[in-house]
Amino acid sequence: MILKSFPEGFLWGVATSAQQIEGSPRAGGRGESIWDFYSSVPGNIEDGSNPWTACDHYRRWREDLGWMKGLGVGAYRFSISWPRVFPRGWGALNEAGLDFYEELVDGLLDAGIVPFLTLNHWDLPQALQDRGGWPDRSIVDAFTEYAARVAERLGDRVRFWTTHNEPWCIATLGYEEGCHAPGRQSPEEALAAAHHLLLSHGRSAAEISRIVPRAKVGIVLNLSPAWPASESEGDRDAARWFDGFFNRWYLDPLFRGRYPNDAIADRIARGHLPGTDLPFLREGDLDEIRSPLDFLGINYYSRTVLRAGPDGRPKGVAAGPEKERDEMGWEVFPRGLYDMLLRVHREYGPQALYITENGTALADEPDREGRVRDVRRIEYMRSHLAEAHRAWEAGAPIHGYFAWSLLDNFEWGHGYGKRFGLLRVDFATGERTPKESARWYRETIAANAVDIGGPSSSSRRYP
Ligand code: IFM
C-alpha cells in the first residue's frame, strides 16, 4: 500500500441533486418541474418510474445528514429545487420552499459540513418550459431572479455557489437528442439553450457576488476527453468534432469569451446555424459569460471514443470489448481524469478546481448477510482519486472531491435501475444500507490520502 496525502483543507464530499432524491413533489407548495411532467409520459423513463418519491429525502433529510456525519464528509453538494422556490418559475416567491433548504443548511453547518449549493440541476419549472424554456432568452432574467432570491436568504451561511450543473446535458440531451426533459429534438433550440445557460450563469454569478461578497461562485461542467477510435483522418476529425461540442463549447466562452470557430463551422455545415453571426448572440453577452470564475467544477465519469460514421457523422463507439464498463455502459478510464484536469489547468487556467462528481453505476445487491460488497466501486474511486492526486502533483489546483452519489437515486431517463450510491436505497421502503464503498470512503477521508498501490490493495482489504 502506498498512501499519497491530499493537501490540508482538501474538501471531501458527497453529491446529490434535488430531483433525484427529494420526492414530495407537491409539499410546501412546490410547482411542477419538467422532469415531473416528462416522466409522466409513458415510454420516457426506461423502467416506467418517476421521481415523485425517489429517496424520500425531503422527509428523511435528517437521517441522510446522519449518514453524512458517519462518513465524516467535509462538504455536501446538493441542489435547490427551482420549482420549490418559484413554483411557476417567476413571479411570487414561495418562502416555504426556501425554509426547507434553510433548515438543511443549518443542519449541515451544525454538523460541521460545508454546504456546496447548486442552483440548477436540471429541474426547470414546467411553467418556464411552457414559455419556451432554455431556448427563450427571457429565461436569463428568470434564472437571475431565482439566484438572487436564494442568495439573499442563504448567503449569510452558504459560501460555495454553483449556477448550473452540466449545461451540455441540459442543452444537448434535453433540446437536441430529446432523451432528457423536455424531450425536444431541435439542434437550433439546443444551441440557443446552451447560450442562455452560459449567459444566465454569468449574469447570476455577478448578482450572487454582489449580494454575498464572500461567496465563491462557479459552474459545473461534465467533461470527457475525446479519443479517436483509430489514427485515420476521419476518426481524428470525429474526436475534434466531439471535443468542440462537449468540452470547448462551454470552456471557451467561460474562459476566453468566444465560441470555438471550428465547432461553429461544423454547425454551419450541418445547417444548424445560418452563418457565423450567431442568431442568439447579442453584444456584451460574451463579456458577461467570461466574468472570472472563483472555481470550476468538473464532473468526470469516462472518456469518449469516436469514429467517423458511415454518413460522415461522428459516432461514440465502445473502446473495445476487453474494457471494463459499468451499468451505464461507460468505460472505466481513470487516466482520463488526469488528462482532463491537466488540460483544463494548462489551457484555461481556472483559479480552483473541484471534482464535483465522480462515481460508477453497479448492480449492487446485498449478499446473504445483507452486505453490499461493491469492490468495483471502491476500485473505481480509488483509481480516480489516484489520478486526481497525480494531477494535483503536476500543478492542477484541485481543492476537493465529491463522490457521486450519497444515495442510489432516480437516474433520469433510466429510472431506478442504475445505482451510483455509497448507500444502497431500498426504493420500496426507503431503507438505507451503507455499501462497503461507504466504509472505504470514510477511511479515505479520515486518512486524507489515497492508496496508489494498485487494484490489489483495495480489493484485498475489502474482499
Ligand atoms: O446522475 C447524474 C447526475 O445527475 C449528473 N451527472 C451524471 C450523473 C450520472 O449519470
pLDDT of 456 > 90? The answer is: no
Which pLDDT tens digit goes with each residue over 308-335?
Answer: 988 878 999 988 778 899 999 999 999 9
> What is the average per-residue pLDDT within 15-36?
98
The answer to whether 378 touches 440, Cβ cutoff 8 Å, is yes
The pLDDT assigned to 322 comes to: 82
For residue 307, the surrounding DSSP H or E stretch is strand 304-308
Tell which one of 411, 414, 419 to mutate to probe ligand 1, the residue whose CB is within 8 A of the most ligand atoms: 411
Which pLDDT tens digit goes with each residue over 181-223?
Answer: 999 999 999 999 999 999 999 999 999 999 999 999 999 999 9
> What is the percent of the chain with per-residue pLDDT over 70, rounded to a whole number?
98
User: Which tops the pLDDT comparison, 114 or 453?
Assistant: 114
CATH of the domain at 23: 3.20.20.80
**How far does CA 192 lie from the centroid of its chain?**
21
Active site residue 324: no
Which pLDDT tens digit goes with each residue over 111-147?
Answer: 999 999 999 999 999 999 999 999 999 999 999 999 9
pLDDT of 459 > 70? The answer is: no
For residue 211, the surrounding DSSP H or E stretch is helix 187-211
Active site residue 166: yes
Reported as a pLDDT band with limits 50, 70 and 90, residue 453 is confident
Span from the CA of 35 to the centroid of ligand 1 (angstroms): 14
Span from the CA of 170 to the centroid of ligand 1 (angstroms): 11
The answer to whether 306 touches 317, Cβ cutoff 8 Å, is yes
Span from the CA of 124 to the centroid of ligand 1 (angstroms): 16
Which pLDDT tens digit goes with each residue over 383-405?
Answer: 999 999 999 999 999 999 999 99
For residue 267, the surrounding DSSP H or E stretch is helix 261-269
How far, in Å, CA of 144 to CA of 200, rounded? 6
How far, in Å, CA of 130 to CA of 197, rounded? 17
The pLDDT assigned to 384 comes to: 98
Given phi > 0 = left and psi -120 to 50 = alpha, else beta, which region is 226? Answer: beta
> What is the average per-residue pLDDT within 211-240?
97
Span from the CA of 411 to the centroid of ligand 1 (angstroms): 7
HSE value, Cβ hemisphere, 13 Å, CA-based, for 173: 15
The residue whose C-alpha atom lies closest to atom 10 belonging to ligand 1 is 411
Nearest to 33 by CA among 123, 164, 142: 123
Ligand 1 atom closest to the CA of 20, numbered from 1: 4
Segments of 102-179 assigned E as strands: 114-120, 160-165
The residue whose C-alpha atom lies closest to atom 9 belonging to ligand 1 is 411
The pLDDT assigned to 311 comes to: 80
The pLDDT assigned to 454 comes to: 67
The answer to whether 108 touches 167, Cβ cutoff 8 Å, is no
Tell which one of 404, 408, 416, 420 to mutate to probe ligand 1, the residue whose CB is within 8 A of the most ligand atoms: 404
Given phi > 0 = left and psi -120 to 50 = alpha, else beta, which region is 412? Answer: left
Q: How many CB atoms lie within 10 A of CB 42?
A: 7
Alpha helices in 50-117 (DSSP H): 57-71, 82-85, 95-110
Segments of 140-291 assigned E as strands: 160-165, 216-222, 226-228
Question: Which residues 6+ apart lie within 8 Å of 391 measured at CB?
Answer: 337, 338, 341, 342, 345, 398
pLDDT of 450 > 50? The answer is: yes
Structural domain harbouring 390: 3-459
> What is the average per-residue pLDDT within 4-13?
98
Ligand 1 atom closest to the CA of 404, numbered from 1: 8
Strand-pair category, 353-357 with 304-308: unpaired
Which pLDDT tens digit goes with each residue over 38-61?
Answer: 999 999 999 999 999 999 999 999
Total domains in the fold of the chain: 1
Phi, psi of 406 (to 5 degrees): -60, -45
The residue whose C-alpha atom lies closest to atom 4 belonging to ligand 1 is 17
Which pLDDT tens digit goes with each residue over 68-101?
Answer: 999 999 999 999 999 999 999 999 999 999 999 9
* Mean pLDDT, rounded, of the chain: 96
Tell which one of 14, 16, 17, 179 to mutate to probe ligand 1, the residue whose CB is within 8 A of the most ligand atoms: 17
> What is the average per-residue pLDDT within 438-443?
98
The residue whose C-alpha atom lies closest to atom 1 belonging to ligand 1 is 411
Tell which one of 412, 414, 418 to mutate to probe ligand 1, the residue whose CB is within 8 A of the most ligand atoms: 412
Which pLDDT tens digit goes with each residue over 243-279?
Answer: 999 999 999 999 999 999 999 999 999 999 999 999 9
Span from the CA of 222 to the centroid of ligand 1 (angstroms): 9
User: Please, which residues bridge with residue 305 across strands?
Assistant: 227, 317
Span from the CA of 271 to the centroid of ligand 1 (angstroms): 30
How far, in Å, CA of 281 to CA of 259, rounded? 11
- pTM strictly above 0.95: yes
Given phi > 0 = left and psi -120 to 50 = alpha, else beta, which region is 108? Answer: alpha
Lining ligand 1 with CB less than 6 A are 17, 20, 166, 299, 357, 404, 411, 420
How far, in Å, CA of 191 to CA of 135, rounded? 8
Q: How many CB atoms lie within 10 A of CB 346?
A: 11
Describe the crossing of helices 335-348 and 375-393 by its angle, rounded to 10 degrees: 30
Span from the CA of 83 to the centroid of ligand 1 (angstroms): 20
